[in-house]
Amino acid sequence: MFSAFRVEQTDTGFQGQWQSVERTALPEGDVEIEVQYSSVNYKDALSYSGNRGVTRDYPHTPGIDAAGRVVNSEVDEFSAGDEVVVFGYDLGMNTDGGFAQRIRVPASWVLRLPPGLSCADAMAWGTAGFTAALSVMKLERNGIAPSNGPVVVTGATGGVGSVAVALLARLGYSVAAVSGKAEQSDFLSRLGATSVVSRDDILAVKGKAMARTQYQAAVDTVGGDLVAALVPQIHPEGAVTTCGMIAGTHFDVSVFPFILRGVSVLGVDSVEIPRALKQAVLDKAASDWSLPLLNELVTDIGRSELSKVLDALLQGQGVGRYRLDLSRD
């Protein structure tokens, strides 16, 4: 038996609670993992709320991240005792996820934990942090460099945004952090933001085909109107990465910034990308891109606190990263 956070549909809606589950209930897979830590992401909150676009069938165990030790492997690549990480693919969506003390997954989903990175460290990053890292990778591949001007980050107090601010600052960029939470300005400054910009200030140019350029690039984590407002403010040959939808799934923007300034919009997927690229990001997190201050972004929680955090994320009240310790009540 092991403990898992099971979400069920009831007469009054969807509810989650910790239950004892038998190992025989684990899905098919090559590698069985004892989960030590998970992290809490917006997609987990959507699954918890009954969003059928994330999870089709209930009861279900959310948790798109997991880090722990292999307890049984049917492939030679992994052995009992190996420390491993799983994020993305179908984990926590339609396959029971990391909000459980045991998971069983295909070997093709499993990443080896690199030296210098603990299971707890890996879940300080989690899917949100790795999405931020992938966003920065895409900007670098498109010629964005610290010497070419500031980079703006939307949703800067959230999981992806806060890591993006910290990582860009660590790499020498001047970072403008966009947030609707004025009370978090000190938090963003500690992460390395050189300025904090009101969301309303960015949205003031929404609807304009072109605007005065202010940023060489943007890491967008929220979608919607903020993307439409940022594109006209990007320097020639600049770029905007986008990876979120909390502010909307569509944006309306003129073609002029693309055909007159050569601005690029770059989508960021952290779910179905090749495992080799995921491993490369994980390895960077343990070496060149290590973030000693990452734990300042992390709120550690036990199992009894999970529902409260998921509710806060659904209400847009999350700040930084949340790491779930599966051994703590």
Are 142 and 249 members of one domain? yes
Are 261 and 316 members of one domain? no
Helices (H), the chain: 42-48, 119-141, 159-170, 185-191, 199-203, 225-230, 256-260, 275-285, 306-314
Picking from 225, 250, 267, the residue at the C-terminal end of a domain is 267
Are 245 and 304 members of one domain? no
Res 234 pLDDT > 90: yes
Are 84 and 156 members of one domain? no
Residue 284 lies in a domain: no
pLDDT of the residue at 316: 85
Are 87 and 21 members of one domain? yes
Are 138 and 261 members of one domain? yes
d(CA 125, CA 85): 11
Residue 18 lies in a domain: yes
Of 140, 40, 154, whose CA–CA distance to 98 is shortest?
A: 40
Are 25 and 85 members of one domain? yes
Residue 120 lies in a domain: no
Average pLDDT, stretch 293-313? 93
Pair 219, 154: CB distance under 8 Å = yes
Q: Is the model's pTM score more than 0.85?
A: yes
Residue 274 lies in a domain: no
pLDDT confidence bin for 5, thresholds 50/70/90: very high
Q: What percent of the chain has pLDDT over 70?
A: 100
Average pLDDT, stretch 264-286? 94
Are 27 and 83 members of one domain? yes
Pair 314, 45: CB distance under 8 Å = yes
Range of the domain at 36: 2-113+297-325
Residue 96 lies in a domain: yes
pLDDT of the residue at 306: 98
Buried b (16+ CB within 10 A) or exposed e, 232-249: bbbbeebbbbbbbebbee
116 DSSP assignment: T
What CATH number is given to the structural domain containing 83?
Answer: 3.90.180.10
Residue 207 lies in a domain: yes
pLDDT confidence bin for 326, thresholds 50/70/90: very high
Picking from 245, 267, 289, the residue at the C-terminal end of a domain is 267
d(CA 10, CA 14): 6
pLDDT of the residue at 69: 98
Are 97 and 136 members of one domain? no
Residue 280 lies in a domain: no
What is the count of structural domains for the chain?
A: 2
Pair 289, 158: CB distance under 8 Å = no
pLDDT of the residue at 320: 84
Pair 40, 62: CB distance under 8 Å = no
Is 131 in a helix, a strand, or coil?
helix
Task: DSSP for 35-78, please give it.
Answer: EEEEE--HHHHHHHTT-TTT--SSSB---SEEEEEEEEESSTT-
Chain mean pLDDT for the chain: 95
In tens, the pLDDT along 102-114 reads: 999 999 999 999 9
pLDDT of the residue at 121: 95
Pair 156, 178: CB distance under 8 Å = yes
Residue 10 lies in a domain: yes
pLDDT of the residue at 295: 83
